[in-house]
């Protein structure tokens, strides 16, 4: 059989080849033409956004919703957030980030960095409530097809804020093809809340059955509406079966809310315990090894907090690094002050605990007055770095603050490092020897005077580190240490003098006990009850939870 090309006339065959070649050459032109149209529509929409008329801005939003230009969603989000600005000198549309003194600008069209501008040089592109609702819908619909699951969850939330029939259809269609379970749950939650408005009893019952697994504020509010009476004395939900199922769902949800409340109380107790451990762990070393009642321990923490404040003044644009560098700086400053106190005063008063108490109390007054003379009596605010700010929002009823979470982790790291120093260094060996039997350690050649100075410096340095942590949860002032000195002694005595593990357990125990008692008895009475408990406990176990071992431990 002859081929088709052989049977085709030569001039027809050449014409076909020429047509195919022209078609291939024209395809990029068609693509480029489509891209040009998209860019033109995008530019036209940006021009309309600068117009004074809300109708033109609304039309611009519709154009940006339809165009495939990647920058369109960025512009829409900036308009919704109030970051879309117009330069007064040339009318250029920009996106501005507030930096405190003005705006850091980026070109809305290209994203190019345009530097900084004063507030007076810009004019904000405003929106009304109707346009704001339209923006939420538009952004939600565009981002509902994003590849990132977190972006799709945000899109579901945006659609839910301005839900309508079109949005419900969009969410149901998306639910059928959504692969991520977390996004599915968010869509089901929105649909379930809307199904509570259905006239069909079966749909309302199914919605309640679904919503009982979602402990959110919106669910609780809607279910409470179903079981409560209106102002006229009638139930909002007329059907008794629906009301009963709503009550059952509320019972299940409330049981989970109690669990969340318990977790939050436990977290705040642990965070308070971490602060107590940091404040007391240095005191446990000096008190346990040297038998010195150091009433200036709180002021050494105060020095650490002021060191953090000074580091932030020196590095105002690097809050994170200034905080990290404050840790070794506070340790060194407090440790040197502690060694000076030990060498200058305390070494002459060993064996006379009452006189050391009075002497260190005088040192605490001197340090307070020195700080007042240098920094004034007013409290100083220490800024929190961005990565420590805000809360970890687990759900509507459970959130954990980042600063306290970091302090908890920091406390455990300091404890672990101190434990390694005392167990695996020569200084740690000598400290343990002096703590167990000072006379025997001295007879064996241990330089007890040097050990005393270094031990006091180590405990003082850790107090300074504790001050760095305290600066992130309270104001820095001359009286900062006074609020923690009594609690520190309670922790040390309760845990066992000189025992680090006892200090750790005692700190967390007292912190959790305080937070458990506060909702019932109040903050002041809770502290009194804890103090009474410790007094009674010491009557039974004078040496604390973990008494120190050694020949001289009883003395």
Domain boundary assignment for the chain? 144-238, 261-540
> Which residue shows structure tokens 């259905």?
198
pLDDT, residue 548, reads 63
Report percent pLDDT > 90 for the chain.
Answer: 9
> Which residue shows structure tokens 């060996």?
429
What distance in Å separates the CA atoms of residue 175 and residue 196, rounded to the nearest whole number? 18
What distance in Å separates the CA atoms of residue 325 and residue 27, rounded to the nearest whole number? 61
Using 50, 70 and 90 to split pLDDT, how confident is the model at 334?
very high
Q: Which residue has the higher pLDDT, 327 or 215?
A: 327
Please name the fold of domain 261-540.
ABC transporter involved in vitamin B12 uptake, BtuC (1.10.3470)
Using 50, 70 and 90 to split pLDDT, how confident is the model at 61?
confident
Mean pLDDT of 520-543: 82
Taken in order 499, 504, 505, 507, the sign of the CA dihedral is positive
pLDDT, residue 328, reads 92
pLDDT tens profile 23-53? 444 444 444 455 676 676 777 777 777 776 7
Least confident of 186-190, 424-428, 472-476, 519-523: 519-523
- What pairs with residue 106 in β-bridges? 95, 113
Average pLDDT over all residues of the chain = 80
Token digits for 167?
């949005």
Inter-CA distances, 205 with 10, 94, 221, 486, Å:
76, 50, 17, 57
- Angle CA(330)–CA(334)–CA(337) in degrees, nearest 5? 145
Q: Which residue has the higher pLDDT, 251 or 100?
A: 251
Q: Phi and psi at residue 367, in whole multiples of 5°?
A: -65, -40
pLDDT, residue 35, reads 61
Using 50, 70 and 90 to split pLDDT, how confident is the model at 95?
confident
pLDDT, residue 1, reads 44
pLDDT, residue 29, reads 44
> Which residue shows structure tokens 């860019």?
39
What distance in Å separates the CA atoms of residue 359 and residue 341, rounded to the nearest whole number? 10
Q: Which residue has the higher pLDDT, 13 or 114?
A: 114
Mean pLDDT of 328-352: 88
Using 50, 70 and 90 to split pLDDT, how confident is the model at 553?
very low
What distance in Å separates the CA atoms of residue 323 and residue 528, rounded to the nearest whole number? 34
The answer to whether 462 touches 285, Cβ cutoff 8 Å, is yes
Report percent pLDDT > 70 for the chain.
Answer: 88
What distance in Å separates the CA atoms of residue 451 and residue 454, rounded to the nearest whole number? 5
Which DSSP category does 382 fall into? P
Residue (of 34, 97, 93, 94) closest to 69 by Cα position? 34
pLDDT, residue 376, reads 84
pLDDT, residue 11, reads 52
pLDDT, residue 88, reads 77
Q: Which residue has the higher pLDDT, 553 or 297?
A: 297
pLDDT, residue 38, reads 65
Q: Is 117 helix (H, G, I), strand (E, B) or coil?
A: strand
Q: Which residue has the higher pLDDT, 377 or 37?
A: 377
> Which residue shows structure tokens 């179903």?
226
The listed range with the strongest mean pLDDT (62-66, 211-215, 251-255, 324-328) is 324-328
The answer to whether 204 touches 187, Cβ cutoff 8 Å, is no
What distance in Å separates the CA atoms of residue 275 and residue 308, rounded to the nearest whole number? 16
Pairing mode of beta strands 122-124, 398-401: unpaired
Q: Which residue has the higher pLDDT, 308 or 213?
A: 308
Mean pLDDT of 227-250: 77
Q: Say whether pLDDT at 218 is over 70.
A: yes
Mean pLDDT of 101-123: 80
Inter-CA distances, 221 with 37, 188, 236, 394, Å:
48, 17, 13, 19
Three-state secondary structure string covering 290-357: HCCCCCCHHHHHHHHHHHHHHHHHHCCCCHHHHHHHHHHHHHHHHHHHHHHHHHHCHHHCCCCHHHHH
pLDDT, residue 20, reads 55
**What is the full DSSP assignment across 499-527?**
-HHHHHHHHHHHHHHHHHHHHHH-HHHHH
Q: Say whether pLDDT at 97 is over 60.
A: yes
The answer to whether 201 touches 226, Cβ cutoff 8 Å, is no
Mean pLDDT of 380-406: 84
pLDDT, residue 221, reads 83
pLDDT, residue 330, reads 92
What distance in Å separates the CA atoms of residue 271 and residue 265, rounded to the nearest whole number? 10
pLDDT tens profile 275-330? 889 888 888 887 766 777 888 888 999 999 999 999 988 888 888 888 899 999 99
Mean pLDDT of 365-374: 90
């Amino acid at each position: 059989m002859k081929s088709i090309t052989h049977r085709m006339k030569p001039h027809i065959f050449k014409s076909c080849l020429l047509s195919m070649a022209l078609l291939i050459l024209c395809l990029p032109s068609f693509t480029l033409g489509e891209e040009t149209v998209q860019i033109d529509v995008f530019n036209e929409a940006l021009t309309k956004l600068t117009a004074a008329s809300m109708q033109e801005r609304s039309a611009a939003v519709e154009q940006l919703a339809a165009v495939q230009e990647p920058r369109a969603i960025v512009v829409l989000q900036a308009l919704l957030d109030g970051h879309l600005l117009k330069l007064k000198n040339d009318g250029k549309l920009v996106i501005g980030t507030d930096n405190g003194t003005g705006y850091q600008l980026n070109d809305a069209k290209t994203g190019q960095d345009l530097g900084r501008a004063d507030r007076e040089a810009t004019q904000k592109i405003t929106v009304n409530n109707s346009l704001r609702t339209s923006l939420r819908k538009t952004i939600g619909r565009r981002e509902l097809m994003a590849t990132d699951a977190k972006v799709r969850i945000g899109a579901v939330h945006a659609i839910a804020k301005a839900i309508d029939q079109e949005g419900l259809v969009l969410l149901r269609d998306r639910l059928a093809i959504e692969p991520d379970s977390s996004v599915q749950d968010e869509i089901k939650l929105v649909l379930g809340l809307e199904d509570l408005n259905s006239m069909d009893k079966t749909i309302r019952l199914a919605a309640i059955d679904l919503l009982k697994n979602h402990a959110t504020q919106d669910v609780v509010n809607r279910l409470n509406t179903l079981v409560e009476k209106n102002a006229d004395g009638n139930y909002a939900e007329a059907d008794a079966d629906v009301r009963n199922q709503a009550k059952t769902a509320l019972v299940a949800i409330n049981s989970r809310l109690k669990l969340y409340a318990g977790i939050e109380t436990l977290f705040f107790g642990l965070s308070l315990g971490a602060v107590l451990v940091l404040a007391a762990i240095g005191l446990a070393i000096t008190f346990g090894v040297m038998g010195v009642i150091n009433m200036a321990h709180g002021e050494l923490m105060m020095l650490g907090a002021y060191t953090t404040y000074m580091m932030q003044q020196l590095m105002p644009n690097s809050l994170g690094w200034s905080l990290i560098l404050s840790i070794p700086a506070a340790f060194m400053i407090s440790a040197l002050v502690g060694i000076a106190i030990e060498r200058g005063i305390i070494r002459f008063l060993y064996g006379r605990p009452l006189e050391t108490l009075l002497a260190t109390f005088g040192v605490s007054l001197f340090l307070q007055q020195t700080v007042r003379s240098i920094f004034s009596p007013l409290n100083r605010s220490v800024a929190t770095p961005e990565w420590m700010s805000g809360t970890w929002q687990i759900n509507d009823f459970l959130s954990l603050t980042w600063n306290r979470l970091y302090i908890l982790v920091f406390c455990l790291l300091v404890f672990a490092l101190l434990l390694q120093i005392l167990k695996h260094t020569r200084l740690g060996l000598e400290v343990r020897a002096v703590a167990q039997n000072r006379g025997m350690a001295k007879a064996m050649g241990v330089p007890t005077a040097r050990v005393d100075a270094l031990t006091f410096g180590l405990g003082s340095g850790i107090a300074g580190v504790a001050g760095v942590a305290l600066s992130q949860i309270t104001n820095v002032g001359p009286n900062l240490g006074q609020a923690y000195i009594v609690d520190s002694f309670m922790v040390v005595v309760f845990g066992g003098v000189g025992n680090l593990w006892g200090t750790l357990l005692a700190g967390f125990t007292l912190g959790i006990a305080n937070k458990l008692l506060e909702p019932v008895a109040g903050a002041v009475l809770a502290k009194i009850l804890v103090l009474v408990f410790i007094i009674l406990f010491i009557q039974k176990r004078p040496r604390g939870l973990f008494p120190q071992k050694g020949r001289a431990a009883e003395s």
